[in-house]
Amino acid sequence: MCMTPPTENAHGAVIVPFFLFSFPPPYALIYRRGRGAFRGERRVSQTKETKRIMAIDRVKAYFRGYGMEDRILEFDVSSATVALAAEALGCAPQRIAKTLSFTAGGGRALLVVAAGDARIDNAKYKARFGTKAKMLSPEEAEALTGHAVGGVCPFAVNEGAAVYLDVSLRRFATVFPACGSANSAIELTIPELETHSGYAGWVDVCKGY
């Protein structure tokens, strides 16, 4: 048994070397005072992964209600960016319907679904929404939309998140938004996207396409 004593970090957590116990390596355990339980760092990553699985499951459940679940595509590779999604799908990058997440104030998210080659025009955005375009942090995006960055989409989002569709999408008969995970997509017509995104309206807030 190792004689190295437990140590306490700046946040009041006691770090216990794993080899004092019969837990498998390679991580230390954290004991938080007053909680009466150990929490492994590995468990934290497992919790995040569980949330991501739940996000795509919510999207699948939503489309299942419309008999469309089998249209969801899942890949063995990442589709977390426009370039990666286009490569996974074998389509032009501009047909990727990326969902950009912004703060709407009051702890709410504002989502803009735009073409893969479009960029937010700050002047247009401010003129339309009356505020500067401030993107959510990854943690805020997941908390307010229900989807982690890389899989943010306009489907099965948390209550209070408003969805807008940018006119850059209207160039295409079909587009590919994500489905709640960083390796998924679904091909939808523009009318289907309108129906299933629950969009609040069309906007013209992008440039560069």
- pLDDT tens sequence across 32-68: 333 333 344 343 333 445 455 688 999 999 999 999 9
15 and 116 belong to one structural domain: no
Residues 6+ away with beta carbon under 8 Å from 60: 69, 72, 179
Shared-domain flag, residues 15 and 60:
no
Q: What is the mean pLDDT of residues 142-158?
A: 96
75 and 171 fall within a common domain = yes
Residues 20 and 114 in one domain: no
DSSP 10: T
Distances (CA, A) of 58 to 52, 83, 183: 10, 25, 15
Phi, psi of 65, deg, nearest 5: -65, -15
Residue 111 contacts residue 161 (beta carbons within 8 Å): yes
Dist CA 98 CA 118 (whole Å): 9
Containing domain of residue 27, as a range? 7-36
Total-model pTM: 0.76
